[in-house]
Amino acid sequence: MEPVKVGLLGLGTVGCGTVDVLRRNAREIARRAGRGIEVVAAAARDPGRPRPCDTRGIRLTDDARVVVEDPEVEIVVELIGGDTLTRELVLRAIELGKHVVTANKALIALHGNEIFAQAQERGVMVAFEAAVAGGIPIIKAIREGLAGNTILWLAGIINGTGNFILTEMRDKGRSFEDVLAEAQRLGYAEADPTFDVEGIDAAHKLTILASIAFGIPLQFKKVYTEGISGITQEDVAYAGELGYRIKHLGIARRSNGAVELRVHPTLIPQRRLIANVDGVMNAVLVTGDAVGPTLYYGAGAGADPTASAVVADLVDVVRVMTTDPGNRVPHLAFQPDAITDLPIRSMDDVETAYYLRLRAIDRPGVLADVTRILGDLEVSIEAILQKEPEPGARDVPIVLLTHRTIERRMNTAIREIEALPTITAPVRRIRVESLQ
Ligand code: HSE
């Protein structure tokens, strides 16, 4: 049988990784797919530039539209990134009746509802395993492996760059900027690295995970998003003293008829497996009512790991290209007419525990004022740590851990604490999750 012909949009880190993996594992891939898979055309910004992958036999162009329109191309693999041109290219590929594989989380999170509706109508597949957690087959695990469960909640370290930065800050005391520059050099970071450090990339991925876990539409705009750029060495060290690690988590939880969608730095007890996921590695903890907690771990970024997911999608597409579209696994795990628009809980109504770091003048009664504010709002304190003043400083750091409370109440408490004349700096708040 003739190999299936693929057109690649983008020959950067992941594009070259995909070419490499397809060549290196050609025989195994054909044994699995039932046919060979061959890249015949590729679009790259500068086609003449030397690349780390072997592009012999691939027609190169600088115009992605040429690849999409190429009559020989049966599957379009989109690895360009961004959500404007790619939306146009993917919708055109669908219109032409071509299947699509993409690693583009922004595209799926922002335009997935439209893209899947069109793909459904045209009877083509749009596969996106590589969009979330790089090489970890988390989409397939939730969509297919856990299909017997009601998913209760999931929490994941889903941005490799952010995890790499937090790990290096903790282990080596390196500066934020220095580690970020290294992540960029290694090809982990987004084209715009604020997407990594401000949580946008994780929010794109969480949008996708929540949709396939709960059968809800993709709704990126409703994700509460906070990045890691405000995390200091001090916080990392104090968290350690209290028996916690700071991780940047995406959390989706269903309870009482609503869904929480939130991305923020989080203190996790250091004995949890997920608290020990370091460097560029990702991990997603998914809890189903039948299976209980399950944990998926692997490389969240990089050429070969992401290519692993892209190629797995290609194999999936090739296996079912000739089947009746009505009998394929639905794009978003649930049948399109069974997607339910559950309300997304406002962050004000989310319940969690908190780490608070204050700076206060060291004089009698200061702590009493702080604990009175928390007590009046029925926020219960779990631990308090007063640190030594730094040489020459007139104020001291105080660290508090609270029990679970509603975010709205904590906002009021923080406002009142900051208004005390003895408090000398804004309160640093980091949410705490036990993940049990
Ligand atoms: N910038 C992303 C990360 C790449 O660091 O996780 C993978 O999506």
Q: In whole angstroms, what is the distance from residue 33 CA to residue 28 CA?
A: 9
Give me the percent of the chain exceeding a pLDDT of 90.
92
- 25, 62 Cβ separation under 8 angstroms: no
Contact criterion met (CB below 8 Å) for 161 and 228 = no
Q: Do the Cβ atoms of 223 and 110 come closer than 8 Å?
A: no
User: What tens digit of pLDDT does each residue of 271-284 get?
Assistant: 999 999 999 999 99
- CATH number of this structure's domain 138-297: 3.30.360.10
Ligand 1 binding pocket includes 15 (Cβ within 6 Å): no
Tell me, in angstroms, the distance from the centre of ligand 1 to residue 310's CA: 14
Mean pLDDT taken over the chain: 96
- pLDDT at residue 248 in the model: 98
Given the residues 98, 105, 140, 205, the one annotated as active site: 205
Whether 205 is catalytic is yes
pLDDT given for residue 390 in this prediction: 81
Structural element, H or E, at residue 225: strand 224-225
Q: Determine the average pLDDT of the residues in 84-107.
A: 98
Per-position DSSP letters for 40-99, written without gaps between them? EEEE-SSTTS--SS--TT-EEES-HHHHHH-TT--EEEE-S-SSSHHHHHHHHHHHTT-E
3-state percent breakdown (helix, strand, coil) of the chain, nearest 5: 40, 25, 35
Say how many Å lie between the CA of residue 190 and the centre of ligand 1.
6
Does 196 sit in the ligand 1 pocket, CB within 6 Å? Answer: yes
The Å distance, Cα 183 to ligand 1 centre, comes to 10
What local confidence, expressed as pLDDT, does residue 292 receive?
98
Distance 141 CA to ligand 1 centre (A): 20
Residue 134 pLDDT > 90: yes
CA distance 359 to 370: 11
Measured on CA atoms in the order 216, 217, 222, 224, is the torsion positive or negative? Answer: positive
Q: Is 188 in the pocket of ligand 1 (CB under 6 A)?
A: yes
Ligand 1, pocket-test mutation among 80, 139, 159, 206, most atoms within 8 A of CB: 159
Identify the architecture of domain 4-135+303-338 in CATH: 3-Layer(aba) Sandwich (3.40)
pLDDT band at 392 (very low <50, low <70, confident <90, very high): confident
What are the extents of the domains in the chain? Answer: 4-135+303-338, 138-297, 347-432
- pLDDT tens per residue across span 33-86: 999 999 999 999 999 999 999 999 999 999 999 999 999 999 999 999 999 999
pLDDT at residue 341 in the model: 93
Query: Using a 6 Å cutoff on CB, does residue 160 contact ligand 1?
Result: yes
175 — pLDDT class (breaks 50, 70, 90)? confident
Neighbours of 347 (CB within 10 A): 19
Q: Which residue from 13, 196, 205, 247 has its CB within 8 A of the most atoms of ligand 1, so it is best to mutate?
A: 196
Confidence bin at 176 (pLDDT 50/70/90): confident
pTM of the model: 0.97
* Shortest-distance atom of ligand 1 to CA 300: 6
Strand pairing class (351-361; 405-406) = antiparallel
Give the residue carrying structure tokens 């998914």: 286
Class of 347-432 in CATH: alpha beta
